[in-house]
Amino acid sequence: MRGYLVMPTKPTVKPASVIVVHENRGLNPYIEDVARRVAKAGYIALAPDGLSSVGGYPGNDDEGRELQQKVDPQKLMNDFCRRRLYGKASAGERQSGNNRFCYGGGVCNAAAVAIPELACAVPFYGRQPPIADVENPCAALLHYAELDKPITDGWPAYEQALKAQHKVFEAYIYPQVNHGFHNDSTPRYDRAAAELAGSERWRGLPNISAKRAEIALALAQKIAI
């Protein structure tokens, strides 16, 4: 699988890593920009291209959506959830974060319950994993859109499953915005919601290690427009 790797220029400490997974249209310029924002915050950012097996992102989102529909969904999920991918991104640093959007948000939720190497997951409007799979999830900051009913309606059951595991998580449903509100290249972009996603409100995550809190806060703050 090919991808877009961005390194911080002058890290003062060994950087943790962040996997940035794209929406339902491949590794487009928006996701590359998100990866650059993460690297500017001092983290190794790797944005894999799930369309690598069919030639890669074709250059525009409409064709990207059509191409992604041709990729076997189970293969795509398996590619994004390979533990080897997280090991390569971390360059020896086992504390990795996972930040994903739309389709990638669903992959992020799946990885949060399947990959113990993850320090935290920050899915944006991601479909929830099967409740039966929610065992020993990593810390999570979950972002949902109020108008995105098909996905947001699944949050209450997922919330109860996370609570039953006694794990650290926080979620916020952004009022009167739709799926994709963070993507500044589409009409659904909502600047106020995107900025709120990076606000100081996330600083108070309880019972989380210093390393994980650092990663979680950086992801929540630094990717915001």
Residue-wise pLDDT for 108-148, tens only, equals 888 888 887 787 888 999 999 999 989 888 888 889 999 99
CA–CA distance, 115 with 141 (Å, rounded to integer)? 16
Burial class (CB in 10 A: 0-12, 13-18, 19+), 141: buried
CA–CA distance, 80 with 66 (Å, rounded to integer)? 19
Confidence check: pLDDT of 79 > 60: yes
What is the third-level CATH fold of 3-222? Rossmann fold (3.40.50)
Confidence check: pLDDT of 172 > 60: yes
Q: Are strands 139-145 and 169-174 parallel, antiparallel or unpaired?
A: parallel
Cβ within 8 Å of residue 198, ≥6 positions away: 220, 221, 222, 223, 224, 225
As a whole number of Å, the CA-based R_g of the chain is 16
